[in-house]
Structure formats: structure tokens, C-alpha cells
Structure 1
């Protein structure tokens, strides 16, 4: 009898401990380790060159814009994110006007990660039919989109495939040759 009573107590304590551990793990993964979207901040966009050429008498326009871009990615998650090489696409009114390669890299857990790149936009009037009116209004708007496929690693133990999507709206102000921007990022598993 004493042996069976001890086994029941030991089994009950073990069951309670297992339940507590499971509850703690569920809380950790649903609240603390719940994936959060990265925050992408364009720290600076330096206009390295801006050249607009009008070919007379055909009224053909050629645009050459060189941007030095310094981006800071804030990873609020408890897992690092390693992504494969990718490309950022720049569009003007729905037309692809530039691509920027992004080399493979890792964004550490709960840290900021800096990315620096140079982007050159070369385009002619076939892609920029609205450029004269935008130029005269003083603002030329671009949209960038980037998809980064990779893996999230939590404590170097748990690994899960993830894809980060980022879209930025860039406004080039012609008169003072400055840039304004707004970015939105999402991570999907």
C-alpha cells in the first residue's frame, strides 16, 4: 500500500510539473517569442547625382539618378534572421526602373542591422511619360519592393523558414534635391 501511495504522489507531482512546463512554453511562444514585424528605417538617402536630359527636337527625356542609401533594420524578435541574396526593385508609376542587389546576410536577434547600398536609376521617356509633369510639380515618386527569404533561428535551436516583405514609398523633391520616404514591412512564416 505504501509503495502504491508513493507512486501516486510521484505521478501526480510529475504530471503537475509537466503541465506547468507546457503552460510556460506555450506562454513563451505565444507572447514573448511571437514574431514581430521588423522595422525598416531609411537613416539617410543621399542624392549623389541627378541629371535630366531633354533631347531636342524629339522631346525625349533621359533621367539619371544616383542614390546613396543607408538603411537600418530593427529586429525586435528573440530570433536572428538569416536571409538569402535578393534584389530590391524600384518602380516609377508601375514601371521597373532600377534593381539593387542585396547580398546574403544575418540580422541579429533584438539588434539593429545596417545596410548600405548605391542605387542608380537610368530611364528614358518610354518609362517616364509622366516625368515632365512630375518634374514641373517638383516631386518625383518612386516605390521600392523587396522580398527576403530566409530562416529565423531562436537560441540556435529552433529554426523556421520565413519571408520578409518590405515596401517603401520614396519622394524625390526636385528643387532642393531631397528625399522623403515611408516604409512598411511584414514577416510571414
Structure 2
């Protein structure tokens, strides 16, 4: 059993990739105060390389820009099957007015040639289901660094995830 665990059943961190982002909603209000909200539709693909599935509860991911929360991402409870790719589709509610009021945004446009760097953090609480028999509480943490290049309208996405029992 020990050899089996350390060779085949040893938990592996999932691989996470992002699909192209779609603009879902855009709202600009000028009066009584300037307010800008944007909703983006995203699909994230999780490649679960483990022999156990992961069932998680409702959660929220937060996107920050230079320490300020600028977006919330609701995640509905779901199950990521063992040894499969699973798409998670959700809407990112960008609080653009919080982004635009950050005093360092002008520096990023000026010196970064139109590059904005964001960090998202997600913690999913749930249970790992190994061989459809054993259930164990688990927590998955994921941190993603995203760079948006406004000049050529592209992005770079780099995620690091971990699974803790």
C-alpha cells in the first residue's frame, strides 16, 4: 500500500489554464458620480492528474491590482473528476472604478507600455474522493498572476496551485 501510494496515488497539483475572455456586460454611469463596472465571462480548465476526484463547496475568488480588490469571481460548488480535464465557467465582476482610482495605474500605463498586472487568489474547501471509496477533507489553494497587454490586446496567465489534506 505504501509503494502504491507513493508511486500512483500520491497527490499531484492540478494544472490550470485559461480560455479566451468574453466581455459580457459594460456599464458606465457619469452622474451623480463616475462609476464603471465590467463583467467578463471566463472559462478556466482544470486538469486533474490525480486518481481521486475533488468535490468543492461554493466559494469566491478575488482579483487584486496592487493590493486593492478590483474583481470578485463567484464559484459554484462542483466536482472535478479524477484523471480528467474539467471546465469551470463563471463571470468576473470587475469593479473598474476601484481599478481606475488606484494612484499607481497611471504609472503602469506610462512606464509599463499599457501593461496591467493582476493577482487572483482562490481557496476551495471540499473533499478528495479517492477510488470512489475513501473521502478525505482537502483544501485547494490557487494563485494566478495575469498580465494584460493593452497595446496588442493579449494576456499572459501563470497559475500555481496546491492541494492540502
- TM bracket (short chain): 0.7 to 0.9
User: What's 1:130 paired with?
Assistant: 104
User: Structure 2 vs 1, CA of residues 84 and 187 (structure 1 numbering), >3 Å: closer, same or farther?
Assistant: same
User: Aligned-pair distance for 1:63?
Assistant: 5.3
Deviations 1:87-136 (A, max 9, x none): 01000001111111100000000000001122131233685111122233
- Aligned-residue RMSD, C-alpha: 2.6
Could you tell me which runs of 5 or more consecutive residues in structure 1 were left unpaired when the two chains were aligned. Answer: 1-24, 55-59
User: What's 2:87 paired with?
Assistant: 114
2:76 to 66, 84, 103: 103
User: Structure 2 vs 1, CA of residues 169 and 68 (structure 1 numbering), >3 Å: closer, same or farther?
Assistant: same
Instruction: For residue 128 of structure 1, give the secondary structure of its aligned residue in structure 2.
Output: coil
Contact 1:47 1:177 in 2 (8 A): no
Structure exhibiting the larger radius of gyration computed from Cα positions? 1
2:124 to 148, 151, 154: 148
Could you tell me which runs of 5 or more consecutive residues in structure 2 were left unpaired when the two chains were aligned. Answer: none
Output the TM-score relative to the length of structure 1: 0.75
User: What does 1:32-43 align with in structure 2 at a 5 Å threshold?
Assistant: 32-43=8-19
User: What's 1:172 paired with?
Assistant: 148
1:82 to 36, 43, 55: 55
- The count of aligned residue pairs is 161
Deviations 1:128-149 (A, max 9, x none): 1111222333111111000001
Output the TM-score relative to the length of structure 2: 0.85
